[in-house]
Structure 1
Amino acid sequence: MNTTTNGSWRELLGRTYAPVAVVLAGGVLMEASTVYLTTSLLPTIVGDIGGAGFYAWTMTAFLVASVISSMLVSRILTTRGSMIAYLLAFGLFGLGSLIAAASPGIGVFLAGRAVQGFGGGLLAGLGYALIQRALPERLWAKGAALVSAMWGVGNLVGPAAGGVFGQFGVWRPAFGLLVVLAAVLMIVVVRVLPRTERSASSSAVPGISLVLLTSAVAMVSVASIVPAGIATAATLIVGLGLGAVFVLHERTAKAAVLPRVTFAPGTALKWVYLTVGILAFGIGTEAFIPLFGQELGALSPLLAGFLGAALSLGWSLSQTVSASAERPAVVRRLVIGGPALLAVGLAAYAVLQQSGPSVLVVVLWFVTLFAAGAGIGIAFPHLAVAAFSSVGDEEEASKASAGINTVFLMASAFSAALAGVLVKLGEPSVLSSARWLLFVFAAAALIGAFPAWRITRSRAARQTEEPQLTH
């Protein structure tokens, strides 16, 4: 009998494995929901402690820290074991939440978000990495499905919680609640999580790459607060230049963030990663959408919070449908059409921006953002498979597939930083800021159709039978 297929949801959520499932799923849910909790509360937060010029930094600090810590998941799990790894992750997340809750100004709040991001990146990675070690083989598939589902649940829990707190004009208790939840889950970890063996790690930390990446994102972020004009252009150019140096270093680095096969001749992987990165750029708009909803649409914090999550909700729901597509022609259309649909959705949302909109226009805001998110969702599952099938070696293929999440996080961090620059260009008009941000990001998304086309072309050129994109 095949033991990998006889596990059930009842067994996973039963007395024996439910506590372990709570830890794995709870960590990912905290990471996912915190993004939307924070964006929903940002207008309230900056209204209380100031720092409107650092609006985008709240997302950038969290994402950059998540990128760095996600690179260390395997190393920490190997050298420290499962229990210490999770205690460290929840501890950092709780500490960051506590710093944010007690912050007297935007500087301390950003520091708290960075610490929170370090913990969040570990939680997201551990949620997947520990399934194999903490659950029997027959429950692996159910465990992976449960953990993945938490990203969709976070789309609902985050804005709902943030909207409720924002409705009452308070935000510190929301972060205080995260501290309590982290502490409770730390107790659960000690009681139920199985200990795993420790050993020396053979993987080197890609220190130079991480420094270059962090510096590049930091410089783009600085461009959003320096005086407009030459200073903005100069810092932006330096940031993009450091990003280019990062890519050049990755091509030859012994310890790299991206799989070595990325830059190998003849592989489609570089086009896969470029497409993923461009799709991830759409996520950079999310930090500002609740602000636009409150300032332009006079929406309540609760509704504005859900508006901010509409893009990710479209992504989460559409990928569950798209993943079942198997016909080669259909898959090619989904991969190429994803960036195009993202571009159309963002552009339509930009056109609909106005002060004092009617109910119909507000509804169309939700629809266009959902459509933009669907552009990411219809392409993403097939991009992951394309990454896996772009190389023949099983170990390298595993690294190539894992690189999807790394590239997505890196691109999201860059886009969040660039979003702050574009919003600044439209100041003091919120309407102009919204249009600058959305039209530029729509144009960037449209460019993504080219590398997406190159993926399908590269696959077709290498195969004489059914494309592996559909496997």
Structure 2
Amino acid sequence: MNNPLASTKASWPDILDRQHLPLLLTLCLAMWLHATNTLLTATTMPSAVQELGGLNLISWTFALYLMGSILAGAASSILVVRHGLRTTMICAALIYVAGSVVCATAVNMPVVLVGRTLQGLGGGCLVGTVFIAQSRFFQPEHVPRVMAMISVVWMLATFASPMIGGAFSTWADWRYAFWAFAVQAVLLAVIIRFMMCADGSAASRSTARLPFIRLGLLAMAILMMSAAGVEFHTALSPILVISGVASIVVFVYRDAHSESDRMFPRRISDLRSQFTSGILTILLLCLSIMSLATYGPFILIELHGMTPFTAGLILMLESLAWGIMALAFASTPSKHEHLLIRYGSALVLIGLVACAVTFPYGPIWLIAVSAMVSTGGFGMMWGFIIKRIQGFSPREEKDRASSLLPITQQMGFALGAALCGLVANSLGLVTGLSVDRIQMVAFWIFAGFVPLALCGNLTAWRFSR
């Protein structure tokens, strides 16, 4: 089976016409708001700490944003069923505004953490609803192109947000960066209000309640994995990661056996289904590519003598590869999409092995190529994985399946970062910075994930049958 849905021929003008373009740009703006604030604190928080103090809390500005993002994304399908897509997106944008304003007016670092949590809740819900809207308003044959456009926005956001934050912190005030994104979120809410039609009557909507116990399990899992990576402890950190994974397993089991308040498709617990193979492919491969983002700049600076700016360029090339490959292969005929999934997953594995070989010794140009191969492979298959997962989902499960996609991606990133921290610190990175030790770490933070990438390739082949 090469295609879960029968597809007709499609082209770029189909999604760039007057009917679809305004909606596509709105979804891109929503994704921009979330993606930029993921890394905005990298260059705003140093200035914030100088003013407010709280250096020991700085890593939690990302961890709590991630937690809020995953929780809200997980609940987005229920919120859409209860309140409608338009209302949910507007409320998410306003929560994001509130978080931005709290950060911009913070008097100490704990208040900043509250603001970052609110930003994560708003941004995560926006991302979940973007995927739901994409599945509702675009035909399956349009999905690879829509996701290619969204991937380009994500790519631009990942390397633009540190520069935006740095520019405000350097030439103005770090608080203005959060004000700027608050204004953009208000604009998004206004656009959604007047452009998107209300979906369904109030009487036709579900009365399902938010499953707070399951959301608590998910929050606990994220916080435990984040804590394991924030501050390494030989005995405690592995326990935190294992406990976090166990909490996710319990969450998935409980959710699959729930009824009206179920957040994800029931089939997610069926390891024999192609749907679950697709979800596992996303999780395992996202987990496998986090080493570069987590420790790549540190290794490039300490081992190869690069400046922070040039190390950042390597990360920019990595993001660029994802977006370019997504655009380049978006028009691939449906009969070949199973090959893109298989070849893309293979490139992720090849790039990971290449990074393990090149990062300890160089040369720099080969390090850059290795990083681009890995993320480029992900970019070429990403839209087609999404198309197939949504295609495997029955109509009544499509919103749940759509909201599950970004959550799986972010959970993979969170778990990958935590495991990468365990690998690096267990090899003694915190005890010394000798060349030999850094070279050993540079090898194993990539090589250690090769088995997981292999498993991701196996699930990708099963998924694309």
Q: How would you bin the TM-score normalised by the shorter chain?
A: 0.7 to 0.9
CA distance in 2, matches of 1:201, 1:434: 56
Which of 40, 45, 70 pairs up with 1:37?
Answer: 40
**Aligned partners of 1:279 and 1:448 also within 8 Å:** yes
Aligned match of 1:384: 386
Give 2:95's aligned residue: 92
Of 431, 444, 447, 2:449 maps to 444
Identity of aligned residues (%): 21
Rounded to whole Å, the distance in 1 between the matches of 2:19 and 2:310 is 35
**Structure 1 partner of 2:270:** 264
Structure 2 match to 1:317: 324
Match for 2:323: what amino acid?
A: S
Tell me, in whole angstroms, the C-alpha distance in 1 between the residues paired with 2:113 and 2:257: 34
- Quote the Cα distance in structure 2 between the aligned partners of 1:141 and 1:373: 17
Alpha-carbon displacement from aligned partner over 1:280-327 (angstroms, at most 9, x marks no partner): 112475255456666666766655544434333322222334552745
Q: Distance in 1 between matches of 2:458 and 2:439?
A: 30
CA distance in 2, matches of 1:381, 1:278: 17
For each residue in 1:309-349, what CA deviation from the matched residue of structure 2 results, as whole angstroms up to 9, or x when unmatched? 43333222223345527458844741551441342254246
Task: Compute the TM-score of the two structures, normalised by the length of structure 2.
Answer: 0.76
Aligned residue in 2 for 1:235: 240
Q: Secondary structure at the match of 1:286?
A: helix
Aligned equivalents of 2:136, 2:395: Cα separation in 1: 20
Q: 2:64 aligns with which of 49, 57, 61?
A: 61
Q: Quick one: which amino acid aligns to residue 347 of structure 1?
A: A
Aligned 8 A contact 1:28 1:124 in 2: yes
Change (3 A) 1:441 1:231: same
Cα displacement (A) at 1:119: 0.8
Pairwise mapping of residues 108-127 of structure 1 onto structure 2 (< 5 A)?
108-127=111-130
Question: Deviation at 1:218?
Answer: 1.2
Structure 1 residues 144, 444: CA separation in 2 closer, same or farther (over 3 Å shift)?
closer
Counterparts of residues 7-26 of structure 1 (less than 5 Å): 9=16, 11=18, 18=22, 22-26=25-29
In structure 2, the partner of 1:275 is 281
Aligned residues, how many?
Answer: 447
In structure 2, C-alpha distance between the alignment counterparts of 1:107 and 1:438, rounded to whole Å: 37
CA contact (8 A) 2:148 2:323 kept: no
Partners in 2 of 1:66 and 1:158 — Cα distance? 17
Partner in structure 2 of residue 464 of structure 1 = none
Return 5+ residue gaps in structure 1 as ranges: 354-359, 460-468
Aligned to 2:411: 410
Give yes or no for contact 1:219–1:236 (8 Å, CA) kept in 2. Answer: yes
Displacement, 1:44?
5.7
Structure 1 counterpart of 2:221:
216
Instruction: Name 2:315's counterpart in structure 1.
Output: 308
The one of 73, 76, 82 equivalent to 1:73 is: 76
Give the partner amino acid of 2:382: F
Secondary structure at the aligned position of 2:18 is classed as helix
What does residue 157 of structure 1 align with? 160
> Residue 75 of structure 1: CA displacement?
3.5
Residue 394 and residue 83 in structure 1: after superposition, are their counterparts in 2 closer, same or farther (change >3 A)?
closer
Task: In structure 2, give the amino acid aligned to 1:341.
Answer: I
Conserved 8 A contact 1:335-1:383 = no
Residue pair 2:147, 2:383 contacting (<8 A) in 1 also: no
Per-residue deviation at 1:120?
A: 0.6
Deviates more, 1:298-307 or 1:88-97: 298-307
Separation in 2 of the partners of 1:377 and 1:306? 18
Q: Tell me the SS of whatever aligns to 2:233.
A: coil
**Structure 1: which amino acid aligns with 2:90?**
L
Distance 2:425 2:56 in 1: 8
2:370 is the alignment partner of 1:368: yes
Flag the 1:381–1:198 CA change in 2: closer, same or farther, 3 A: same
Amino acid at match of 1:370: M
Residue pair 1:133, 1:196 contacting (<8 A) in 2 also: no
Seen in structure 2, the aligned counterparts of structure 1 residues 420 and 345 have a Cα distance that, compared at 3 Å, is: same
Deviation at 1:207, TM superposition (A): 3.5
Question: What is the rounded CA distance, in whole Å, between the counterparts of 1:335 and 1:135 in structure 2?
Answer: 24
Which residue type is aligned with residue 235 of structure 1?
A: L
Matched to 2:413, the amino acid is: S
Question: How far apart in 1 are the matches of 2:137 and 2:145?
Answer: 13
Taking the aligned partners of 1:176 and 1:296, their CA distance within structure 2 comes to 38
* Counterpart residue number, 2:349: 340
Residue identity matched to 2:276: K
Contact map agreement 1:284 1:412 (CA 8 A) in 2: no
The alignment partner of 1:246 has SS state of helix
Matching residue's letter, 1:376: F
For residues 439 and 187 of structure 2, the distance between their equivalents in structure 1, rounded to whole angstroms, comes to: 40
Corresponding residue for 1:171? 174
Query: For 1:314 and 1:61, how far apart are their aligned partners in 2?
Result: 28
Gaps of 5+ in 2: 1-7
Q: 1:194 to 1:291 in 2, by over 3 A?
A: farther
SS at match of 2:449: helix
* 2:186 aligned partner: 183
How many Å apart are 1:178 and its aligned residue? 1.4
Q: Aligned partners of 1:284 and 1:317: how far apart in 2?
A: 21
Change (3 A) 1:455 1:389: farther
SS at match of 1:205: coil
What SS does structure 2 have at the residue aligned with 1:201? Answer: coil
Q: Which moved more, 1:178-187 or 1:127-136?
A: 127-136
Q: Distance in 2 between matches of 1:413 and 1:114?
A: 16
Distance verdict in 2 for CA 1:87–1:307, change over 3 Å = same
Counterpart of 1:465?
none
The change in CA–CA distance for 1:189 and 1:347 in structure 2 (over 3 A counts) is same
Q: Which residue of structure 1 aligns with residue 250 of structure 2?
A: 245
Offset, 1:145: 6.4
* Equivalent residue letter for 1:412: F
Give the deviation of 1:423 after TM superposition. Answer: 5.5
Question: Post-superposition shift, 1:92?
Answer: 1.6
Change in CA separation of 1:219 and 1:8 when aligned onto 2, cut-off 3 Å? closer
Change (3 A) 1:82 1:402: closer
**Aligned partners of 1:422 and 1:433 also within 8 Å:** no
What is the TM-score with the length of structure 1 in the denominator? 0.75
| Cα distance in 2, alignment partners of residues 352 and 160 from structure 1 | 29
